[in-house]
Structure 1
């Protein structure tokens, strides 16, 4: 392929991402109450730095050229609104995560997908608030697989190794990195938990934080085969202020198991048993479950790589307290996006959490005017619940841009993109 043609096609791909993602981010920022100046700043970052690194525009039919672990349909970006309970009406923070993808790669390097992140970091320099890559540089050789891993390429496992995420603070951005551990664990024939333990040992955390991490490792080892570590994450800021987050998944889907795991987290935090009531309400509401359902009953069986319940534990410097968060996988276990959004509207309103001018349901309809929410499921990936250090509820809704859907007549046919 000539250099001129390659550049033209690359621009064509970027225009596709700009056209679809600019509208969604702009509306999410407006609905969250961001001022015009901050909206403009965030849109410049999206179009100048992010969309050039989302890879090729999607295929009309079949699997993506690179199937990102970011979302179940392979889309390399996910957006979210995050509310923290306050004394008066509270508006959300907008955040999003990406997997940078290279436009072209040598065939033997495609599976590893590290070139995309390298190029993204070079272009993004100077766009973040007080970035510090000390921890990132310290653990890369432990957590990243630089040589092709034949196990993953033969089994068809996802190709992702590293994600980047941005908390949009006004017109500024906080940078976070996420290591997806599957490729490296396969390459070294070791457990993902052992990778995390090795990486954390290189971060020189203080004694209180080290105690909290060791409590977590003991908990995971005691949880058995149904619980698996998935991702290690931290903020790319001064290590003296950075959080460490470890994500893990349990295949047991009963609420009693959720309560057990979150209660373990509460034993090591400031939260109380009374806080569990709002989690139970949210769980039954967004999943469309009967309130009289036994807490021991599992959700319906789903044969999928991301089936089960996702959690994370968060660790901060100078404290042995652990913050835990649960991600309710409405993408797998919900009824439809209409019901999820309607129930979220009620839940948020009842806790003085809101959007500007619209209910949550109305906002989702505005973001996806061509989609029938009642007939679809997948615009929401997760809805998360946590308690912060002040004892306030934090609720986050994670949204797929909705560029992909299954053919409506046969649910098992390949995914296709809505190139509109």
Structure 2
């Protein structure tokens, strides 16, 4: 689920109107029998975890989960008898799903994520083709996503094949299908400010960004990547990184009946920032200028307390992504981090 194989990722999320963040986490449950003949693709542990959530998530609805699980993943039965190299992604990963929880005052929202690469490869399709078919095949509501899905696929296919963004993840809310978002995550190898602005509007296919939103995005870009205010920082790409998760990740949110997706950018600070100290201070200052932080302390103070395995300035990898979505004329920002860091990911730049 994460670059350093930690099956857990934490996040703090600030909306434009919130001073303090919502707390969320994602986890890839791993069963004792994972990787054995009994559970070759680790499909059982998540089912067991989902069975324990209804008391804390009274609106839980697994209709979409069941549909996309069948459409986008390889089942344990289908995996039996296949060679090991057929059951791994290009980076050797077997992961196909993970689950996330948004914690609220009295309950929680359950979200589920599918990584369709493995099944797409076995079927000889692109991930986009597989995902399009899965959404169109949704009982009763599939056609209501058509306008947004067409805008997304048109944008992806407008790129030359060598630069085409790739679908990596599909996410859903485990609620009534008519109320759920379908979130499609695409990764682009382009890592410059102009391409980010272009992707945030799907190449002009959605509502243009306001000047205030553009200024906020530029401020965040410079803050978390430790860049000056010279105009060249918005023209030049970030340093090249040879890693599967280099480039920029985008999430496109589809809602039933909506004419176009809503975009969010995931900035992989673990690849491009100087160190976790710089990320924490830059983001802390960005949030403070907007009256945001943690309860009784700054973002920097909270992260410094949370990262117990080393000092923030000693490496990269505690922060994984900083994300940003336009929220009116303002910005909604989320910080993601790994609670456990392997020795490999503590180097200055993860190769």
* TM-score > 0.5 by shorter chain: yes
Compute the RMSD of aligned alpha carbons: 2.4
Counterpart-to-counterpart distance in 1, 2:47 and 2:73: 13
| 8 Å CA contact 1:270, 1:391 repeated in 2 | no
CA displacement, residues 340-367 of structure 1 (integer Å, 9 cap, x when unaligned): 1011111001111121111111111111
The aligned residue for residue 219 of structure 2 is 281
Structure (1 or 2) with the larger CA radius of gyration: 1
The aligned residue for residue 80 of structure 1 is 11
Of 307, 315, 322, 2:254 maps to 315
CA displacement, residues 186-208 of structure 1 (integer Å, 9 cap, x when unaligned): 22121100111011012243765
CA displacement, residues 370-412 of structure 1 (integer Å, 9 cap, x when unaligned): 4211111111000001013x44310000011034233879989
C-alpha change, 1:313 and 1:190, in structure 2 (3 Å) is: same
| 8 Å CA contact 2:198, 2:204 repeated in 1 | no
For structure 2, which runs of at least 5 residues remain unmatched after alignment? none
Counterpart-to-counterpart distance in 1, 2:155 and 2:211: 19
C-alpha change, 1:267 and 1:273, in structure 2 (3 Å) is: farther
| 8 Å CA contact 1:269, 1:322 repeated in 2 | no
TM-score by length of 1: 0.75
183-192 or 240-249: bigger deviation = 183-192
User: Which protein is richer in helix relative to its size?
Assistant: 1
CA displacement, residues 36-68 of structure 1 (integer Å, 9 cap, x when unaligned): xxxxxxxxxxxxxxxxxxxxxxxxxxxxxxxxx
Aligned residues: 341
TM-score by length of 2: 0.90
Structure 2 residue 48 is the aligned partner of structure 1 residue 119: yes
Counterpart-to-counterpart distance in 1, 2:74 and 2:155: 27
Structure 2 residue 113 is the aligned partner of structure 1 residue 174: no
User: What is the SS of the residue equivalent to 1:295?
Assistant: helix
The aligned residue for residue 155 of structure 2 is 219
| 8 Å CA contact 2:147, 2:260 repeated in 1 | no
CA displacement, residues 147-203 of structure 1 (integer Å, 9 cap, x when unaligned): 335334496521110111111111311011110112111221211001110110122
Counterparts of residues 10-409 of structure 1 (less than 5 Å): 70-86=1-17, 90-105=19-34, 107-108=36-37, 112-146=41-75, 147-148=78-79, 150-153=85-88, 157-203=92-138, 204-205=140-141, 209-225=145-161, 226=163, 227-264=165-202, 267-269=205-207, 271-292=209-230, 293-388=232-327, 390-406=328-344
Cα offset for 1:130? 0.7
For structure 1, which runs of at least 5 residues remain unmatched after alignment? 1-69, 414-420
Counterpart-to-counterpart distance in 1, 2:275 and 2:102: 28
C-alpha change, 1:314 and 1:365, in structure 2 (3 Å) is: same
C-alpha change, 1:123 and 1:408, in structure 2 (3 Å) is: closer
